[in-house]
């Protein structure tokens, strides 16, 4: 019930294309769904996050789509750029108190110029 499943493991997209990464969760008590971006040798950095009371959140070229009934959420990167090449992690938690984030396995994204 604590798992978050992320796919694909790796993704190659042409510059200017749309990158899509998917995640599924089991625990219906989760109420906070962030996406983190990690460059090699660095700590993850928060990219965008969503609560389950909305179905979509957009920040610049990054959009989270959330489907509560299917227990799925996804990250869309529009107009993908070589600088977006990184590993992306979805996560889920219960937002109050100490957040025990449960992470997906990660997706290594490569944007070809």
Per CB under 8 A, residues contacting other proteins are: 6, 32, 34, 36, 41-46, 49, 51, 89, 95-101, 103-106
User: What's the min distance (Å) between Cβ of 59 and other proteins?
Assistant: 13
User: What's the min distance (Å) between Cβ of 49 and other proteins?
Assistant: 6
When the beta carbons of 13 and 47 are compared against other proteins, the nearer one is 47
**DSSP annotation of 46:** E
When the beta carbons of 13 and 50 are compared against other proteins, the nearer one is 50
When the beta carbons of 22 and 105 are compared against other proteins, the nearer one is 105
Q: How many CB atoms lie within 10 A of CB 34?
A: 20
When the beta carbons of 14 and 55 are compared against other proteins, the nearer one is 55
Chain Cα centroid distance, residue 84: 13
The single residue listed with the structure tokens 């992690």 is 89
User: What's the min distance (Å) between Cβ of 16 and other proteins?
Assistant: 28
Which residues, in sequence order, are CB contacts of 91 under 8 Å at separation 6+?
4, 33, 34, 35, 36, 101, 102, 103, 104
């Amino acid at each position: 019930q604590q798992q978050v499943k992320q796919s694909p493991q790796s993704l190659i997209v042409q510059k200017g294309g749309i990158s899509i990464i998917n995640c599924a969760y089991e625990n219906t008590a989760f109420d906070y769904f962030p996406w983190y971006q990690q460059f090699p040798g660095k700590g993850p950095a928060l990219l965008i996050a969503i609560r389950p009371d909305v179905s979509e959140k957009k920040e610049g070229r990054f959009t989270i789509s959330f489907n509560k009934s299917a227990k799925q959420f996804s990250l869309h990167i529009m107009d993908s750029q070589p600088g977006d090449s990184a590993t992306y992690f979805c996560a889920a938690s219960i937002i109050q108190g100490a957040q025990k984030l449960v992470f997906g396995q990660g997706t290594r994204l490569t944007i070809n110029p």
